[in-house]
């Protein structure tokens, strides 16, 4: 028999939706919540997100667990019997896991309350444009603000039963990057009468790749990835426009500022040499995920005494997470949950091991009960 939370994960897996369009996801979660005993439960919605309050027995503080909700624009290539029913979208970053674990935590505490209160936040739009910052500012959260936050992220590279974490920085600062190049289109046979934005954009991609290697201190990790490039309309027309879409990752805020300055300088150079216009949009920016040192070390010590999990002290990762905004305001931490699959995050074949769902629910509920006693 499948655990109800594995079953829920499979239902969620079939309905991945873009950020702030998680309508079916919200409805499914609300339906699940309505089946639970209601005496300790208060539910609020905010945009496509959900805030769930579970009253404790004799509360003196309020804990928070956050699960992100959105899917990614990826066409699923798994051979799962419950694939995405939304063409071109997939839960390829584990948010289906994060939500079903969140529901497992809610279900546990409505039937076995702890001393303290708990707020479980189902947060939209983690992949972009970022739901954490506006959710933190939402009226619906102000009188429910937790005193401590916990969140997790699935980790394909670790076996089931592994929890990987570290104090201080876990994930990088991020900035999206959208670059539009506007030149002059023309006939393929008359390049001297046009400004070809395919040539300008490809040169720009090459120049962007020199920034990390030449301008950033090698001891301070940074990444610039261009993940999408669009240009042109037909094989014999010189492209008037090109667009590059990417992301910047840095461990330090200073490197982020420096990289942005260098990108502007590269753009000015391309404008001068191609007599074109280059405009840059930094999209959404996420703060680093900074795990509160004392709480994280205490969690790690507590994990060492558990026999259903193995603790691994990991290094920082260049992934980003808008949970960093929660940790900027509220002490807490994020950890990696091992789900043992050869395919990485954002891969069309990602197939995390569902046994990790119960491991996570058990670990989070036991930890919160320990903290609440
Ligand atoms: C855990 C994870 O994969 N998070 C995403 C966050 C994306 C932030 C933003 N859209 C960007 O691309 O900068 C990641 O790609 O790390």
Alpha helix locations (H) across the chain? 4-13, 23-34, 95-111, 132-137, 139-142, 197-215, 253-274, 293-304, 323-329, 355-372
N- to C-terminal Cα distance for the chain? 33
Q: At what angle do helices 293-304 and 355-372 cross, to 10 degrees?
A: 110
Q: What is the mean pLDDT of residues 338-344?
A: 97
The verdict on whether 127 is a catalytic residue reads yes
Among residues 36, 107, 48, which one has the least CA distance to residue 357? 107
- The pair of structure tokens assigned to 289 is 């995920």
Q: How far is the CA of 286 from the centre of ligand 1 (A)?
A: 9
The answer to the question of whether 346 is labelled as a binding residue is yes
Distance CA 163, CA 329 (A): 24
Query: How does pLDDT run across 65-82, given as a tens digit for each residue?
Result: 999 999 999 999 999 999
Whether 2 shows a pLDDT value over 90: the answer reads: no
Helices and strands in the chain: count of H runs, count of E runs: 10, 17
What pLDDT is attached to residue 353? 98
% of the chain exceeding 90 in pLDDT: 99
Q: Is the pLDDT of residue 262 over 90?
A: yes
Q: Would you say residue 83 has pLDDT above 90?
A: yes
Confidence of residue 1 (pLDDT cuts 50, 70, 90): confident
186 CA from centroid of ligand 1 (Å): 37
**Angle, vertex CA 10, rays to CA 9 and CA 16, nearest 5:** 85
Yes or no: say if 290 and 168 are a contact pair by the CB < 8 Å rule.
Answer: yes
- Mean pLDDT of the chain, nearest integer: 97
User: Is residue 192 marked as binding?
Assistant: no
Contact 320, 249 (CB under 8 A): yes
Domains of the chain: residue spans and CATH: 4-171+288-372 (3.40.630.10), 173-285 (3.30.70.360)
Q: What is the DSSP letter of 237?
A: E
> Could you please report the per-residue DSSP string of 224-248?
EEEEEEEE-SSTTEE-SEEEEEEEE
Distances (CA, A) of 196 to 40, 63, 245, 279: 64, 56, 19, 16
Catalytic residue among 17, 68, 117, 196: 68
* pLDDT, tens only, 237-261: 999 999 999 999 999 999 999 999 9
Provide ipTM, 2 decimals: 0.97
- Token digits for 148? 């401590």
| pLDDT score of 192 more than 90 | yes
pLDDT score at 179: 98
So what's the pLDDT on residue 116? 98
Consult the annotation and say whether 127 binds a ligand: yes
Cα 276 to Cα 347: distance, rounded to the nearest angstrom: 36
Contacts of 220 (CB under 8 A, 6+ apart): 250, 251, 252, 254, 255
Say how many Å lie between the CA of residue 170 and the centre of ligand 1: 14
* Mean pLDDT of the 205-225 span: 96
Indicate the pairing of strand 148-155 with strand 49-54.
unpaired
Q: Which residues line ligand 1 (CB under 6 A)?
A: 93, 127-128, 153, 174, 176, 247, 284, 286, 319-321, 345
Active site includes 68?
Answer: yes
């Amino acid at each position: 028999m499948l655990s109800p939370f594995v079953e829920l994960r499979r239902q969620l897996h079939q309905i991945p939706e873009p950020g702030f369009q998680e309508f079916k996801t919200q409805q499914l979660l609300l339906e699940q919540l309505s089946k639970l005993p209601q005496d300790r439960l208060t539910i609020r919605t905010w945009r496509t997100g959900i805030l769930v309050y579970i009253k404790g027995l004799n509360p003196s503080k309020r804990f928070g667990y956050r699960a992100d909700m959105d899917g990614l624009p990826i066409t699923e290539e798994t051979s799962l019997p419950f694939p995405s029913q939304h063409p071109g979208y997939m839960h390829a970053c584990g948010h289906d896991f994060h939500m079903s674990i969140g529901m497992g935590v809610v279900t546990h505490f409505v039937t076995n309350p702890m001393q303290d209160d708990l707020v479980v936040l189902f947060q939209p739009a983690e992949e972009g444009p970022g739901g954490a910052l506006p959710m933190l500012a939402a009226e619906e959260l102000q009188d429910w603000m937790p005193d401590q936050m916990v969140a997790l992220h699935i980790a394909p590279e670790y076996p089931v039963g592994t929890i990987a974490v570290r104090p201080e920085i876990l994930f990088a600062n991020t900035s999206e990057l959208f670059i539009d190049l506007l030149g002059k289109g023309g006939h393929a046979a008359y390049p001297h009468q046009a400004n070809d934005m395919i040539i300008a954009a490809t040169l720009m991609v090459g120049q962007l790749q020199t920034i990390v290697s030449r301008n950033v201190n090698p001891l301070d990790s940074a990444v610039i990835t261009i993940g999408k490039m669009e240009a042109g309309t037909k094989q014999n027309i010189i492209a008037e426009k090109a667009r590059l879409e990417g992301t910047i990752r840095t461990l330090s805020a200073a490197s982020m500022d420096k990289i942005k300055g260098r990108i502007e300088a590269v753009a000015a150079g391309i404008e001068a040499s191609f007599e074109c216009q280059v405009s840059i949009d930094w999209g959404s920016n996420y703060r680093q995920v900074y795990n509160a040192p004392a709480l994280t070390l205490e969690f790690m010590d507590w994990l060492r005494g558990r026999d259903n999990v193995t603790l691994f002290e990991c290094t920082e990762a260049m992934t980003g997470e808008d949970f960093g905004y929660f940790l900027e305001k509220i002490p807490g931490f994020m950890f990696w949950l091992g789900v043992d699959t050869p395919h990485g995050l954002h891969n069309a074949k990602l197939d995390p091991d569902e046994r990790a769902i119960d491991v996570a629910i058990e670990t989070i509920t036991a930890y919160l009960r320990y903290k609440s006693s």
